[in-house]
Copies of this chain bind each other. A is one copy, B any other.
Amino acid sequence: MAIEEVVQSYNQYVKKIMDFNESIALAEWDMRTGAPKKGIKQRSEVVGTLSDEVFKRSISDEMKGYIDALTDPSIQDQLSLVTKKMIEKSKKTYDQYVNIPPEESKAFVILQSEAQSVWQEAKEKSDFALLKPYLEKMVAFKRKFIEYWGVKTNKYDALLDLYEPGLTVQTIDQVFGKLREGLIPLVEAVTSSKAQPQKDFLSVPFPVEKQKALCLHLLREIGYDFEAGRLDETEHPFEITLNPGDVRVTTNFQEQDFISTVLGTIHEGGHALYEQHISRDLVGTPLCEGTSMGIHESQSLFFENFIGRSKAFWAFHYDELKRYGSGQFDHVSLDDFYRAINVSHPSMIRTLADELTYPLHIMVRYDIEKALFNGDLEVTDLSGVWNEKMKEYLGITPANDREGVLQDIHWPGGDFGYFPSYALGYVYAAQFRHVMTRDIPDFDNHVSSGNLSVVTDWLSKHVHQFGSLKKPLEILTDTTGEGPNPQYLLNYLSGKYSDIYRL
């Protein structure tokens, strides 16, 4: 067969896998938004059947044939960049799956589901002992998988690579080390500042219907395309991509905490903009998705923090907000509103943490994961180490495991190596912001006159359009001229918080 025909046949083969994936994504969206509960069990079996199909096709002999044919060094100059990147990604998935014995894969999936269910109970009862045996099995599985993959050096790198390809312990240690050095004294200064902002007006009840109208409006303002998406309500907000023409977001309306709803919606909107702007040429290929968890998070955090928590953004939108509200902001100045939505103090729960303390929560988890997989820590010691690290980094100690080691679903779900991407994304976002404000000198003026398209266009040009055609570090260095560098985030945070807390 001529190479051209192999490529065509491979494209068709992969397109089917992507179609199955879209169908799985739709089933998940539906189950999380409004599927009637009596149909869920059977629906889960549908997802199982489709996932099986994706798995089988990803490691089939046919797939192996395409990989062998299209990674042959002698024909590389006949392949387009897209084909090369596609086959690279297919190969990565193949290698990741094929070396794990099927019965272990299956046992792992069952354990994931059991452990997450036990985690719910353990968290409610604040009883780590309940979860412990499941986490131990989970870690044992992951350690074995790392062996199967033949990783010899830093074993945790193998897990990082699943979420943030190319990032290693060596890099992250440096980035997080420097970030922590700058953050800890800043958090201390903020905490002990006498200039604590007022924020009681934020909890005046804000009717859900008004919040909904406000969120729809603000999503439109940041450039979210409602002809290629929709907003629904769920307990936990999320973004999910069916295809670039169908990128859905959800939010959770909280009557007495509208600002969390608004910022959460903008956060998911940031994820969605990334996916809506991926080049249509990549539809039907495995490259048609955000390139990594970290780059994805850089987009959501950019909009949530650098836009949604900025004075410039509210300079334009504050009068609108007053109209959606019921008088609670009438005697609140823009400056006081801005300070209120940026209140910071050390707290126990990551998902509720403010933008200043958030990275420290991630570092607690990073240190623990690294130690777990490099043989310096066992599951039995997790709770103790967690509490020590919280004291060391944030100056506070959880009263129990519910507000400590049991708070996140990631570990019971088998997601080790995922957490660092949250903080890395934040670091990337600040680097993008630095370059963007250099490229667009009147950046703040654009934002404060409601012209957010300059921001979205810039991100689209430098980040969004590529999907997974570029690796995360490639996007970062192509755009900013350097690798991960936490200095820009530190500059941003110290500038902003010195102002807010009159340091």
Contacts and interface: CB of A to CB of B under 8 A. Distances in A.
Contact of A22 (B22, B43, B248): B43
Interface string A384-428: 000000000000000000000000000000000000000000000
Contacts of A243: 39, 42-43
A354 interface: no
Contacts of A109: none
A231 to B, nearest CB: 11
Interface stretch (A28-36, A337-345, A360-368): A28-36
A40 interface: yes
Q: State the majority secondary structure of interface residues on A.
A: helix
B36 A227 contact: yes
A41 interface: yes
Contact of A246 (B22, B35, B225): B35
B16 A225 contact: no
Given A20-B49, A45-B284, 7 more contacts: A19-B50, A36-B228, A36-B245, A38-B225, A39-B243, A39-B246, A42-B284
Nearest to A41: B245
Given A228-B36, A245-B39, A46 B27 contact: no
Nearest to A22: B46
A283 interface: yes
Given A23-B23, A27-B23, A49-B20, A43 B230 contact: no
A283 B42 contact: yes
A26 interface: yes
Number of copies: 2
A22 B23 CA distance: 10
Contacts of A228: 36, 38-39
A312 interface: no
A242 interface: yes
A486 interface: no
Q: Chain A contact residues (Cβ within 8 angstroms of B): what range?
A: 35 or more
A50 B37 contact: no
Interface of A: 15-16, 19-20, 22-23, 26-27, 30, 34-43, 45-46, 48-50, 53, 225-230, 242-246, 248, 283-284
A225 B230 CA distance: 27
B229 A36 contact: yes
A23 B46 contact: yes
Contact of A23 (B35, B50, B283): B50
A9 to B, nearest CB: 15
Contacts of A226: 36
Nearest to A243: B42
Nearest to A225: B38
A26 B284 CA distance: 20
A35 B37 CA distance: 21
15 contacts: A15-B45, A19-B49, A20-B50, A22-B42, A23-B23, A23-B50, A26-B30, A36-B246, A37-B227, A38-B225, A40-B245, A41-B245, A42-B242, A42-B245, A45-B284
